[in-house]
Amino acid sequence: MIPTVVSGLILMKKRKMMEVFPPFVRKLWKEWELRAMAIVSLLVQIVLIVLGKRRRHIPDRWIRAVVWSAYLLADSVATIALGILSNDLGDIYNDGGKLERDNELTALWAPFFLLHLGGPDTITAYSLEDNELYLRHLFGLLVQTIVTFYIVLLAWTGSRLSYLDIPMIVVGSIKYGERTWALWKASSDELQDSMLSSPDHGPNYAELMDEYSLRHAEGFFVEIEEVKEVQDESPTPATADDSQGNIINAYTMFQTFKRLFADLILSYQELEKSQSLFKNMSHEVAFDVIAIELGFVYDLLYTKATVIYTAWGIVRRIVTFSLTCIVLVIFSFDDMRKYKMVDIVITFLLLGGAILLEIYAAFVLVSSDQTKRWLIKHKQTRISQAISRIELVNLPRWSGRMAQYNLLSLCLNEKPGLRLLEKHRYKSEETLEVDLRELIFKHVKGKFDLMETKGDKEIYTEKKINDLVATQRISRYMLYLLAVYPTMLPIGIGLIGLRNTRAEAEKFFEERLSTSVARENLINVACEMLLQVITSDAGNNLSEMLLHEKTHVDPIKVKGDRSKSVLFNGCRLASELNKITDRKVKWEVIRDVWLEMLTFAANKCRGRQHAYQLRRGGELLTHVWLLMAHFGMNEEFETHEREFVLTAI
């Protein structure tokens, strides 16, 4: 791999620079640089395997920063360490020196660096773009394996310790090969190719016309009739407490709807199966099935799931675990007096760490939804019964949160700080409550019922959550998406409009609020000022300052196309809504509008954008999008229904 060659050149230059340091510093660095690399490489692997999959349900920035740093550090440390080993051994031969026992022991570390380049099962790609680099990793696999063999050959003495390098090279090559294979399977081109169904040539038109002409020539009265195709039986909907049924249904839907994440379309036959399943579900079951389904998608795109959840994957796990254990046992019986104690400890750490990581990976594999599905399918076998007795703590399938963004707090600069971190400084989070899930589900299902009844049925939503609370959370969530993830929303001038609206709001408040007001009392003082300047009965929050602003003239007549701010357009809309005297009706209207905006935005967001968010704890918009897809309300379906085949009668 090119980084190996480059790292070797860097090391040569670095050693020249080290001459400026005192001799004891150079000696200390020379003795500990490789040891430090080995320890850091092992620690990075531990971080990745423990936190790699937890980012699926933890949206916090700290875990993203830690995983991102560890992901980048893992390859760099292992590559540099191999370069250090090859340079050290090369220097010994070039200088005509004698190979020491310690060099033979440190050469055993080379296969472990190759193993670490393979990474843990819980993360192969930090982002989707990493999957497109599979060719780079394939080249790295070839070069780093050659470098590892080169190191082993340089340190080869024919002793028992030298022979232990061979099984560890096999283990490292398998691990690195699995990572490369998983990256290739998750790359965009291969993902689409693997999801495309077999080519469908359709009914044989020429054969049908020959049969038609033949029978017509024989004097028969022949006409073409449409015969309805027989569809496969749809899966049985799961009940609220049927967790096993939810996993089976989720996997069944995943096999079909994973194509949406590769920007492929689905057929009407597949749509009917999904509709028949979801229209009989409760909102708890529907959201649970979708969460499990998105978990399968996450495993497909970001982990080694495609290569480990197979028969050969299990065989490879047994082989790698067994070989590592054998190496540990044989090394334990070696004469330790020949080596330095610190090198012995590090070697045991590498061996023990590799075994413990394999055991942890096995626990993760057993407790996964993929394994649960296999157990449900093969529950009569002895193996499944033995595995089913293992109880592990189940992690959440996604964060279950919806971020909130308050425009007033942003405009008033309530939380001053670096502009670079401003997007996240004003973000808060709310738990996605069951009542709000039910509200969203019934809204989507109500739209589906309207489609089925051709508009003859009204959308009825039983209210279990305060309309004001629902409206506030959905509106602030949509503003959060606009400010932080604008690519998830329909293409337009939304982000420009947000910036211009903010600028106008800041100017508006700056002209009316004193700069001497303490920051913590800013909103309260503004409200007191409003009570003095507003003749009507004003409320007790800052938004009413805007509400009572005079907006009789359309703002576009004043601003034209120069500014995309919608500040006073919002004021005019609020004034119109206040004309609705029935408070209940008013908030129902506002709530339904925001629900419609939520579903519209979800429908317009591409599948790949939703896939990006799975590594950030998941987004409510993704769950709404997939829910709508299951009801056939997305755009990713065939435009023409084909339920019939033609036959000559």
pLDDT in tens, 323-345: 999 999 999 988 888 889 999 99
Q: How far apart are CA 443 and CA 425, in angstroms?
A: 32
153: closest CA among 96, 98, 107? 107
For 287-306, letters b (16+ CB in 10 Å) and e give bbbbbbbbbbbbbbbbbbbb
pLDDT of residue 574: 75
Question: What is the reported pLDDT for 532?
Answer: 41
What are the tens digits of pLDDT across the range 557-583? Answer: 555 555 567 777 777 777 788 788 888
Other C-beta atoms within 10 Å of 277: how many? 21
One domain for residues 557 and 485: yes
Helix ranges, 398-463 (H): 407-411, 422-425, 434-452
Examine residue 285 and state whether it is found in any structural domain, yes or no: no
Q: Is residue 51 domain-resident?
A: yes
Tell me what the mean pLDDT of segment 512-527 comes to: 54
- How many other CB atoms sit within 10 Å of the CB of residue 105? 21
pLDDT, one tens digit per residue, over 253-264 is 999 999 999 888
Higher pLDDT, 101 or 534: 101
Same domain, 350 and 437: no
Total residue length of the chain? 649
46 or 199: which leads in pLDDT:
46
Q: Are residues 337 and 476 in the same domain?
A: no
Residue 431 and residue 361 in one domain? no
- What confidence tens digit (pLDDT) does each residue in 482-504 have? 988 998 988 766 778 888 888 87
Place of tokens 């701010």: 565
Residue 159 pLDDT greater than 70, yes or no: yes
- Residue 275 domain flag: no
Question: Looking at residue 378, what is its pLDDT?
Answer: 77
Residues 324 and 467 in one domain: no
* pLDDT value, residue 383: 60
- At 629, the pLDDT band (50, 70, 90 cuts) reads very high
In the structure encoding, which two tokens stand for residue 404, read together? 């909130």
Q: Give the per-residue pLDDT at 216.
A: 63
The answer to whether 497 and 562 have CB atoms below 8 angstroms apart is no
Whole-number Cα distances in Å, 375 to 308, 367, 395, 413: 16, 11, 19, 54
pLDDT over 70 (residue 641)? no
Task: Output the six-digit token pair for 263.
Answer: 């920007």
Identify the weakest region by mean pLDDT among 46-50, 393-397, 398-402, 530-534.
Answer: 530-534
CA-closest candidate to residue 50, choices 73, 27, 22, 70: 70
Distance CA 112, CA 172 (A): 7
Q: Can you give the pLDDT at residue 212?
A: 62
Spell 90-101 as b/e; 16+ CB within 10 A means b.
eebeeeeeeeeb
User: Do 73 and 169 have their domain in common?
Assistant: yes
Q: In terms of domains, do 476 and 347 share one?
A: no
The answer to whether residue 292 is domain-embedded is no
416 found inside a domain: yes
Q: Dig out the tokens for 523 from the structure.
A: 């909103």
Tell me what percent of the chain is helix, strand and coil, each rounded to the nearest 5. Answer: 70, 5, 30
Assess whether 100 and 188 both reside in one domain.
yes
Instruction: Give the chain's mean pLDDT.
Output: 80
Confidence class of residue 414 from pLDDT cuts 50, 70 and 90? low
Tokens of 611: 């896939």
Cβ neighbours, 10 Å, residue 415: 12
Tens digit of pLDDT for each residue in 232-255? 555 555 544 477 889 999 999 999
* pTM for this model (two decimals): 0.85
The CA angle 244-246-63, to the nearest 5 degrees, is: 100
Q: Has residue 542 got a pLDDT over 70?
A: no
Which residue range is the domain that position 111 belongs to?
2-192+310-366
Confidence grade of residue 138 (pLDDT, cut at 50, 70, 90): very high
Which pLDDT score is estimated for 512? 67
Whether 71 and 120 map to the same domain: the answer is yes
Q: Do residue 415 and residue 342 come from a single domain?
A: no
| CA-derived radius of gyration, the chain | 32
- Residue 269 domain flag: no
> What is the per-residue pLDDT for 181?
97
* 405 and 353 housed in the same domain: no
In a domain, 302, yes or no: no
Per-residue pLDDT band for 210 (boundaries 50, 70, 90) equals low
Above 50 in pLDDT, residue 117?
Answer: yes
Q: Check: CB of residue 301 under 8 Å from CB of residue 261.
A: yes
**Structural domains in the chain (count):** 2
Please tell me which residue, 4 or 429, carries the higher pLDDT value. Answer: 429
Q: Which H, E and C letters describe 58-121, residue by residue?
A: CCCHHHHHHHHHHHHHHHHHHHHHHHHHHHHHHHHHHCCCCCCHHHHHHHCHHHHHHHHHHCCC
Residue with tokens 């942890």: 360
C-alpha torsion sign, points 116, 118, 121, 124: positive
Tokens 């054998």 sit on residue: 326
For residue 453, the 8-state DSSP code is T
Q: Cα separation of 401 and 381, whole Å?
A: 39
Q: What pLDDT is recorded for position 6?
A: 52
Q: Please name the amino acid found at residue 580.
A: I
Q: How far apart are CA 582 and CA 580, in angstroms?
A: 6
pLDDT band at 303 (very low <50, low <70, confident <90, very high): very high
Where is pLDDT greater, at 380 or 370?
Answer: 370
Q: 636, 607 in Cβ contact below 8 A?
A: yes
In a shared domain, residues 359 and 421: no
